[in-house]
Amino acid sequence: MTLLIQNGTVVTHERQFVADIFIEGEIITAIGAHLEVPEGARVIDASGKYVFPGFIDPHVHIHLPFMGTFAKDTHATGSQAALVGGTTTFIEMLAPGGSERLMDGWRTWTGMAEGRSACDYTFHIGVTRWDDETEATLRELAAQGMKSFKVFLAYKGAFGIDDAALYRTLALAKELGVIVTAHCENAELVAQLQGKLLAEGKTGPEWHEPSRPESVEAEGTAHFATFLEMTGAKGYVVHLSNALALKAALDAKARGVDISVEGVVPHFLLDRTLTEREDGAKFVMSPPLRDRSNQAVLWRALEDGLIDTVGTDHCPFDVAQKDMGRENFTLIPNGIPAIEDRVNLMYTYGVSRGELSLTRFVDALSTRPAQLFGLYPRKGAVAVGSDADLVIYDPAYRGHISAATSHMNTDYSAFEGWEIDGRPEVVTVRGQVAVEGGAFVGDAGRGQLLRR
Ligand code: URP
Ligand code: ZN
Ligand code: ZN
Ligand code: ZN
């Protein structure tokens, strides 16, 4: 199979230029002006459109046992939603709950994804407790190419680990050359504050944010950074939400700690007042939506490259699941669905509204995730020899977000009615067209597990 994409404006993390792109099989084999049309090649006219490298979502939850229930997407629904939204690879948090052994978790997650994901995928290996088997299992999974781990400093009594386990994980990661991603909130402080608020009769979703304030996240971030410093490991703070936590990460970076920062879509666009609504539970995630004043800081840091990447933290629960916390905000399943909307929202409210340059947009949503997590230049690049994962993006499209038209398996959108200035017209996964005219037309089980 050969494919020629003509006359698009190719955008990389460094520059933009008009060119044709030729694809043979799964790989880009030529880029240049006015390439000859080989016999039998399918030709796609990309005049007036951008051609981006396939976007990589570095932080999603598809299969997730959490807070007594399960996130709603399957690898089929999640991956198709990703593709329609321009994401051609996602990195899922593999997070065994309860007493599930890590190696059993590996089998569970890979078994669910294999043959069902339409896009490529890989995993951050969650270290949710430290027992006799943990070290050997982590060594084995790293040897199999799973070169990133995940720890939760939050969620006491669930995914959260103590400092001894954190130290061991980081020391091992340093030895193995594995990057460790971390949810940075101080679990004990959150637990204490939750108890205090509930005792005062403060039970609604608007009390979720005060139960885990900005300074509690900043403490978690500084705490993680100190452990990175002592072990020499390479770290990545997931879903950083506010200016104080950003300062903690940047202070550590300034003294030489190897730390990168991820922002996620909800924190750039939504704020804590949404949890005061009657349907406020829909907007409960952790770290929480913050005071709006943080958003300008996050956008600026993103444009300056101080926030390295943008993920979603896609975590879909439906309205009935959110309702489990009607009488008690600590029982609301945490998470906001967004895997389908990341690219369009960051393009519209970042690039189109002047907060974000086009090259930094590509860098943060594709190239940097690929570089940090060992996928570059196979992914995250428009280059000869790279996988032909491409997004032909129509900046003239106008539409809006709605749960009714979403491919995600949930019944609400936190961005219901939001306008979007553009969308992926055509998306390819390793040379095969998976999206056309905004609709999924791909091969449901074609996605591959990416070993790094
Ligand atoms: O609220 C969130 N973020 N839910 C998913 C789990 C996590 O902490 O990433
Ligand atoms: Zn988290
Ligand atoms: Zn601490
Ligand atoms: Zn998450």
Please say if the pLDDT value at position 129 is more than 90. Answer: yes
d(CA 235, CA 216) in angstroms, rounded, equals 19
Cis peptide before 377 (omega within 30 of 0): yes
Position in ligand 1 atom list of the atom nearest CA 264: 3
Q: How many residues does the chain have?
A: 452
Condensed to tens digits (0 to 9), the pLDDT of residues 277-321 reads 999 999 999 999 999 999 999 999 999 999 999 999 999 999 999
Condensed to tens digits (0 to 9), the pLDDT of residues 339-355 reads 999 999 999 999 999 99
| Confidence at 99, pLDDT banded by 50, 70, 90 | confident
In this structure, which ligand is nearest to the CA of 189?
3
> What is the rounded average pLDDT of the residues 431-449?
97
Condensed to tens digits (0 to 9), the pLDDT of residues 224-233 reads 999 999 999 9
Please say if the pLDDT value at position 133 is more than 90. Answer: yes
Bridge partners of 314? 60, 336
Please say if the pLDDT value at position 1 is more than 90. Answer: no
Whole-number Å distance, alpha carbon 128 to ligand 2 midpoint, is 12
Residue of 57, 61, 156, 290 best suited for mutating to test ligand 1, as the one with most atoms within 8 Å of CB: 61
Q: How far is CA 321 from CA 66, 257, 258, 334, in A?
A: 11, 40, 38, 10
Q: Are strands 419-420 and 399-400 parallel, antiparallel or unpaired?
A: antiparallel
Whole-number Å distance, alpha carbon 262 to ligand 1 midpoint, is 13
DSSP assignment letter at 348? I
DSSP assignment letter at 288? P
| Confidence at 162, pLDDT banded by 50, 70, 90 | very high
Please say if the pLDDT value at position 98 is more than 90. Answer: no
Position in ligand 1 atom list of the atom nearest CA 152: 8
pLDDT score at 87: 99
The CA-based diameter of the chain, rounded to the nearest angstrom, is 74
Cβ of 124 less than 6 Å from ligand 1: no
- Ligand 2 (single-atom ion) residues, CB below 5 Å: 183
Residue with the larger pLDDT of the pair 98 and 158: 158
Is residue 210 classed exposed, middle or buried when 0-12, 13-18 and 19+ CB atoms within 10 A define those classes? middle
Cβ of 285 less than 6 Å from ligand 1: yes
436: alpha, beta or left? (left if phi > 0; alpha if psi -120 to 50):
beta
Q: Are 9 and 15 in contact (CB under 8 A)?
A: no
Residue of 331, 334, 339 best suited for mutating to test ligand 1, as the one with most atoms within 8 Å of CB: 334
Q: Which of 392, 396, 390, 399 has the alpha carbon at shortest distance from 425?
A: 392
Please say if the pLDDT value at position 14 is more than 90. Answer: yes
54: alpha, beta or left? (left if phi > 0; alpha if psi -120 to 50):
beta
Q: What's the chain's average pLDDT?
A: 98
Whole-number Å distance, alpha carbon 21 to ligand 4 midpoint, is 35
d(CA 194, CA 210) in angstroms, rounded, equals 9
Whole-number Å distance, alpha carbon 59 to ligand 4 midpoint, is 6
In this structure, which ligand is nearest to the CA of 66?
1
d(CA 187, CA 191) in angstroms, rounded, equals 6
Counting residues of the chain whose pLDDT is more than 70, the rounded percentage is: 100
Atom 2 in ligand 1: which residue has the minimum CA distance? 335
Cβ of 334 less than 6 Å from ligand 1: yes
pLDDT score at 317: 98
Whole-number Å distance, alpha carbon 5 to ligand 2 midpoint, is 38
Element (H, E) at 180: strand 179-183
Cβ of 286 less than 6 Å from ligand 1: yes
- Note the CATH architecture for domain 61-372: Alpha-Beta Barrel (3.20)
pLDDT score at 97: 85
pLDDT score at 276: 98
- Ligand 4 (single-atom ion) residues, CB below 5 Å: 313
pLDDT score at 282: 98
pLDDT score at 158: 94
Cβ of 183 less than 6 Å from ligand 1: yes
> What is the rounded average pLDDT of the residues 381-403?
98
Condensed to tens digits (0 to 9), the pLDDT of residues 35-88 reads 999 999 999 999 999 999 999 999 999 999 999 999 999 999 999 999 999 999
pLDDT score at 234: 98
Cβ of 337 less than 6 Å from ligand 1: no
Whole-number Å distance, alpha carbon 351 to ligand 4 midpoint, is 25
CA 319 to chain centre: 22
